[in-house]
Structures are given as C-alpha cells and as structure tokens.
Amino acid sequence: MHLKFILSILLLNVSLTSWAIDPFTVELYDSSCTICHGGGVGGAPKSFDAKVWAERLAKGNDVLLGNIISGFNGMPPLGMCSDCTKEDFVDLIGYMSTEKPE
C-alpha cells in the first residue's frame, strides 16, 4: 500500500515537472506574469513559492480563473495577458505554484 502511494507521488512529481517547463508557458510567464508575481508586487502571490500558493490552490481552479478573468485586488482583468486562453491561465497557475524548475 505504501509503495503505491510513494509511486503515485513520484509519478505526479515527474509529470508536473515535465509540464511545468513547457517553453510556451515559460514564455507567457516571462512576458506577462513575472513583473508582478516574480517579486510578489502589490500582494501578488510570489512565483515558485509553493507554500504561498497552497491556500490559493485549495480554492480550486474555477475560483482562481474567475479572479484572473475578472481581475482581483491589484490585478487587472486577464492580468497582463489579454491573448491568453483559460488553458494558458491554468498552465500559468500550475507553473507559478510549483518550486522553481532548474
């Protein structure tokens, strides 16, 4: 039983790591998100700080997407990525909420 759990965690980690370094997502992050999330400007959750993102992720993607699309606190609607799709935003959330890839 413990072996299955450990293997599932390892598999999840590998899949998230592979997914998190998608070049297109990194490009979107660099051009649209890093200006605020890179340093936690204006209360934005700081990128690559899993602890900071944990409480936000607990709310679910629907809430997070709603905040991104409508704007939230100091974040304007759609952030700085007016061309991003919902899928792009989901990928960006996943990328920013994980530990920084090497």
Check: CB of residue 53 under 8 Å from CB of residue 97.
yes
Q: What is the pLDDT of residue 91?
A: 96
Q: Sketch the domain layout of the chain as residue ranges.
A: 2-96
By 3-state DSSP, what share of the chain in percent is helix, strand and coil, each rounded to 5?
A: 65, 0, 35
Q: Residue 1: its pLDDT value, please?
A: 55
Superfamily classification of domain 2-96: Cytochrome c-like domain (1.10.760.10)
Q: How confident is the model at residue 10 (pLDDT cuts 50, 70, 90)?
A: very low
Q: Which amino acid is at 80?
A: M
Q: pTM score > 0.75 for this model? A: yes
